[in-house]
Structure 1
Amino acid sequence: MNTFICTAYILSQPKLIKVKHQNFCYVLLSLQNFLDNIPNIKIKAFAKGKIAKQVFDLYKQKNSVVIESSIYIKRIKTVNNNKKKSKVIFVRVYKIHNLSI
C-alpha cells in the first residue's frame, strides 16, 4: 500500500451513499501543483465506514484539509472513437484533519 499525505481544498460538497449498511462518501478535491505550470490538479476522493460519516458531517465545500490516503491512477478511454486515453486520479481517505489558517 502506498501512503499519500497532502493538503487539499474541497471543491464539492461531500456526498454520502449507503450500500448494504456500509457508508461511502465521495468528494472532489483540488491539489496545488508546484512543479508544472498547470494551475491545480483535481482528484476524486472517497472514504468508507466511520471515516465517510466523519467527512460528510464535519467538512463542507471550500474547506482546506490535510488527508492521509492511498492514491491510484485509472486510465479511461474517451467517449468518442479516438484512441486517446485520459487519466483520473483517485484517493482513498484513511485520515482527514481540518487545516486552520
Structure 2
Amino acid sequence: MNIFIATCKIVSQPRLLRYKKKSVTIMILLLYNNKKKAPWYCIIAIAKGKIGAEIFNLYKQGDLIILEGSIQIINEKNFVSGNYSETIKIINLKVKMIHPTHHLLKVKI
C-alpha cells in the first residue's frame, strides 16, 4: 500500500453521489508537475463516507487542499481507428484524510 500526500487544486465542483446508502464524492484535481512536458497532472479523486461529505460541504471549485490517500494508476486502451489502439493512463486517488488549509483556519493577527 502506498501513502500519498499532496497539495492539489480543485478543477471541478465536487459531486456527491449516493450508492447503496453510502455517500461518495468525486472531483477532478490538478497536481503540480516539475517536468517540462506538462506543468500539471489531472487526477480523479474519490472520497467515501464522512470525508466525502466534508469535502462536499467545505470545498468548491478553485480551492487548494492538502489530501492524504492512496494513489492508483490505471492503463486503459482506447481504440482510435481500426486496429490502432492508444493507451491512456488514468490516475485515481482514494482520499483518506483532509488537512486544513489557511482559508479554513480563521486566524486573526
- The verdict on a shared fold, with TM-score over 0.5 as the criterion, is yes
CA–CA distance in 2 between the matches of 1:50 and 1:66?
A: 17
SS, match of residue 60 in structure 1:
coil
- Match status 1:2 vs 2:2: yes
Matches within 5 A, 1:60-79: 60-79=60-79
CA–CA distance in 1 between the matches of 2:49 and 2:43?
A: 20
Q: CA contact under 8 A between 1:33 and 1:40: conserved in structure 2?
A: yes
How many residues get paired? 100
Q: Cα distance, 1:84 vs. partner?
A: 1.8
Matches within 5 A, 1:1-101: 1-34=1-34, 36-37=35-36, 38-81=38-81, 82-100=84-102
Quick one: which amino acid aligns to residue 48 of structure 2? K
Q: CA contact under 8 A between 2:16 and 2:26: conserved in structure 1?
A: yes
SS, match of residue 85 in structure 2:
coil
Name which one, 1 or 2, has greater alpha-carbon Rg.
2
* CA deviation profile, 1:25-51 (whole Å, cap 9, x unmatched): 0000000112x1111000000001111
SS, match of residue 51 in structure 1:
helix
Structure 1, 78-87 or 23-32: larger mean CA deviation: 78-87
Structure 2: gaps spanning 5 or more residues: 104-109
TM-score normalized by the length of structure 1:
0.93
CA–CA distance in 1 between the matches of 2:9 and 2:101?
A: 10
Structure 1: gaps spanning 5 or more residues: none
Q: Cα distance, 1:80 vs. partner?
A: 2.1
Q: CA contact under 8 A between 2:30 and 2:41: conserved in structure 1?
A: yes
